A and B are shown apart, each in its own frame.
Chain A
Amino acid sequence: AQSVTQLDSQVPVFEEAPVELRCNYSSSVSVYLFWYVQYPNQGLQLLLKYLSGSTLVKGINGFEAEFNKSQTSFHLRKPSVHISDTAEYFCAVSPRSGGYQKVTFGTGTKLQVIP
């Protein structure tokens, strides 16, 4: 079984400032890691994913995340946010064995970009 903890339910940040959204996970097996973005009344869009290889993963819209195995973290970062980044962000994990069958989502972090 796995679990995902997103420590911050809301993160306000000024436009053009950097942001970090935190994600920690717990799992008894090796996992894949994902970050999704959800705009109001819409489904989820994949920002980035970590499968293997380099621990620094670059995604769409200028986001990146770093996998830290020792700290079981997968924090999402962006050096300069825009108003359009205002949305809810979900961290997720799925077990490597068996593919995407049992993905687990965190509770989400609402990013509020202030003009």
Chain B
Amino acid sequence: GAVVSQHPSRVICKSGTSVKIECRSLDFQATTMFWYRQFPKQSLMLMATSNEGSKATYEQGVEKDKFLINHASLTLSTLTVTSAHPEDSSFYICSALPGTGGWGNTEAFFGQGTRLTVV
């Protein structure tokens, strides 16, 4: 089946530093990838939609200058949390939509998530 690899699985960083999270589709191409944030005991909240070769689309309330998304190839999207603060501590999950068109597909595949802790 389709595999999405997310790295790192856990990261601890100091307040004020930046952290990059990678999301790779290992055996398929994905024009579109999604980034979610999950707070404890809550559901996944879509942060942004990452489109290869173009700017990401951010959901309302998500600071695009703080959460930088780069989708430089059909198999890799990165999320950089800039100037991280303790309130950014969360579980971040990516998913990738197979196919270069991005429309009409019915299922995206999820990475294993990244637990970010900012101290």
The answer to whether A44 and B93 touch across the interface, beta carbons within 8 angstroms, is yes
Residues of A within 8 A of B32 (CB): 101
Interface size class of A (residues with CB under 8 A): 20 to 34
Residues of A within 8 A of B42 (CB): 107-108
The answer to whether A99 and B110 touch across the interface, beta carbons within 8 angstroms, is no
| B6 is an interface residue with CB less than 8 A from chain A | yes
Give CA–CA (A81, B110) in the complex, Å.
Answer: 24
Interface size for B (C-beta < 8 A) is: 29
Question: What 1/0 flags go to A7-35 for Cβ under 8 Å of B?
Answer: 00100000000000000000000001010
| A80 is an interface residue with CB less than 8 A from chain B | no
Residue of A34, A36, A103, A108 with highest tally of chain B CB at under 10 A: A103
B43 CB contact (under 8 Å) in A32, A100, A108:
A108
25 contacts between A and B (CB under 8 A): A32-B106, A41-B10, A41-B91, A41-B113, A41-B115, A42-B112, A43-B4, A44-B44, A44-B95, A44-B110, A45-B110, A51-B106, A90-B43, A98-B103, A99-B97, A99-B102, A99-B105, A100-B97, A100-B105, A100-B106, A100-B108, A101-B49, A101-B103, A105-B44, A106-B43
